[in-house]
A and B are shown apart, each in its own frame.
Chain A
């Protein structure tokens, strides 16, 4: 194997992992605090991607400039969804939350299908085809931006959780919700805030993905299944686990694609998933 191709494949894999990171970080946050798997994660990503798409097509707002707007909008959507639907109808039962998010994903996808049709949409921005030489690889600028932005946003999120009062409250609720309630934390509000932040990550992810990827009503599946694997691999609820897991999965996908052929590239991901379940079911960074 040519070292140049191998080097380029490693870089491509890391960049690919970067784009998975934001989806996975949101998912792991929601799991860490609410202890539920958010089945609506893929659909919310799809919704955010349509948001970024329409902001560009209708309002001519560049996807990168739209990040603050989409993060705020998706936070609000997540918060309201939790307060108005998930929290209200779950009656405190985890399995109810599972079913509600599952139902939500079906509704969202079909509503998207109704309004946007099954058509996939692709956008072209001035920098879509701009390439940057990165060692042996020629990488599209949007992918590099997406990778760097993912790292920055993950770091910002980690800082927020570690240093702010809301972050401390989130950690308290994640660890011991009854204790948190006893010291005066509004647990329901923290649930909604956490869900909102998890969904807000998707707002950023959508803006970073749209310059180099297509959007369709089923696009969420493409990322969310990988994100589930990453969350399990990294340790459910662990930020650093989600980030490192994303990079490992990106690398695995890229290298197994290179060595086994693109048709078998996904095998690497499934193999890692099985190995993790066998030898460290709680994930790499679990406590």
Chain B
């Protein structure tokens, strides 16, 4: 009888295992097209932040395509931007690896990383080569506080966003007769959530809101039922959340299901507060308030881009327009530097007074890599849309505060 002897040798086994581990753990680096100025996009395309990473990449690619269609970087003879597409998998070590790989591929600047946890080591890796790194999303202030000369951020970080959020919340609360006197903070465990919650806890008393408890949760979390129980037991007026998309939605949904009565649910840089949330879970989203980066609704270019994104069946989330504007900011720097020389581009970005964006900011003014001209606004969801409710200058609706009770 012929035996079916296995040809699966030890060598093959080791090879196959190595191939599998490469596929799981090592970043993928794809080259979009072969053109002169290479810009590395370091976003989480797979893993638990994949949606946000995909949105960031889309925004960045729209800007790159627009710049190239408009004749590229004119001061460099119309040099086109070429995107190097990286996947940081939302893992710090993978982010560093992507940066190193792109460096090998001759990258001139980076855009990234969506998550602060990845941005911290990734910018440091890029600093070894002095390669400009523009942070599109990533709120930790440590990203720009470490004295790295190659790191720039257009949008406000934790501190400024929390300050704006506290200021706005204080004004909204005061205008409503101070119905909110206490809060429970719920945050995710990484740099973003922990940092935001710490700042909030320190600053909320200044607007007369007592912090009853700070609750941390893991990423990912499968069930928030117990957390909802504890919140109900504490009877706070506000639940203030700082977490990423999936946990933000799951927590909001659980609190809604458990009918936890609150004056409001508030967040600073709430990862799941977007059009998709309103569309999928309108009952849950209604009345939720978030402090975040928002486009200037009065700017026709913002509205035109929103239409373009929506026409493709996508949502105009903050990742899209922040990454878009980050690339435009970088391109402006390169245009003024007249060269892809890293030193010159870094100097041009540091001296930037760019105002051709559609954010509710003034011209850029960089201090230690942070744009001090950036400002966050406060939004509230209705059943069908998201309205800006603070500052009054950009507001498209009045706040519903306190929100109606379940009973």
Contacts and interface: CB of A to CB of B under 8 A. Distances in A.
B249 A122 contact: yes
A118 interface: yes
A254 B223 contact: yes
Nearest to B21: A102
Interface in A87-140: 91-93, 95-96, 99, 102-103, 106, 109-110, 113, 117-124, 128-129, 131, 137-140
A106 B24 contact: yes
A38 interface: no
Given A118-B44, A118-B46, A253-B222, 7 more contacts: A16-B225, A106-B24, A113-B46, A117-B51, A129-B253, A261-B216, A262-B218
A278 interface: no
Contact of B23 (A96, A106, A124, A263): A106
A36 interface: no
7 contacts: A12-B229, A93-B8, A110-B46, A118-B51, A137-B229, A138-B257, A263-B217
B159 interface: no
A122 B8 contact: no
A9 interface: yes
Q: Which 5 A-B pairs have the closest CB atoms?
A: A118-B50, A262-B217, A263-B216, A12-B225, A119-B51
Select the residue from B16, B216, B276 with max chain A CB neighbours within 10 A.
B16
Contact of A131 (B51, B189, B257): B257
A140 B250 CA distance: 13
B258 A131 contact: yes
B54 interface: yes
B20 interface: yes
B45 interface: yes
B257 A129 contact: yes
A254 B223 CA distance: 9
A121 B279 CA distance: 11
B223 A263 contact: no
B280 A129 contact: no
A251 to B, nearest CB: 12
B223 to A, nearest CB: 5
Interface string A245-287: 0000000011001100111111000000000000000000000
A151 interface: no
B281 A222 contact: no
A245 to B, nearest CB: 16
Interface of B: 4, 6-8, 13, 16-17, 20, 23-24, 44-54, 189, 215-218, 220-227, 229-230, 233, 245-246, 249-250, 253, 256-259, 276, 280-284
A261 B48 CA distance: 21
B226 A102 contact: no
A99 B16 contact: yes
Contacts of B222: 16, 213, 222-223, 253
A264 B221 CA distance: 11
A258 B226 contact: yes
A119 B49 CA distance: 9
Contact of A129 (B47, B233, B283): B283
Contacts of A117: 50-51, 54
Nearest to A266: B218
A45 to B, nearest CB: 13
Given A12-B226, A117-B54, A124-B280, A138 B259 contact: yes
Given A9-B229, A120-B245, A214-B250, A129 B256 contact: yes
A122 B280 contact: yes
A281 B233 CA distance: 40
A216 interface: yes
B218 A218 contact: no
B257 A265 contact: no
Contacts of A120: 51, 245-246, 249
A257 B186 CA distance: 14
A121 B280 contact: yes
A257 B245 CA distance: 21
A128 to B, nearest CB: 8
A124 B283 contact: yes
B189 A263 contact: yes
A140 B257 contact: yes
Given A5-B230, A117-B51, A214 B246 contact: yes
B230 A138 contact: no
Select the residue from A5, A12, A122, A262 with max chain B CB neighbours within 10 A.
A262
Contacts of B250: 213-214
A99 B20 contact: yes
B70 to A, nearest CB: 28
A8 interface: yes
Interface in A147-187: none
A217 interface: yes
A103 B19 CA distance: 9
A258 B8 CA distance: 48
B259 A131 contact: yes
A218 B246 CA distance: 12
A129 B221 CA distance: 19
Contact of B6 (A2, A93, A139): A93
Given A129-B257, A263-B217, A254 B189 contact: no
Given A117-B50, A118-B51, A263-B217, A91 B8 contact: yes
Contact of A113 (B7, B20, B50): B50
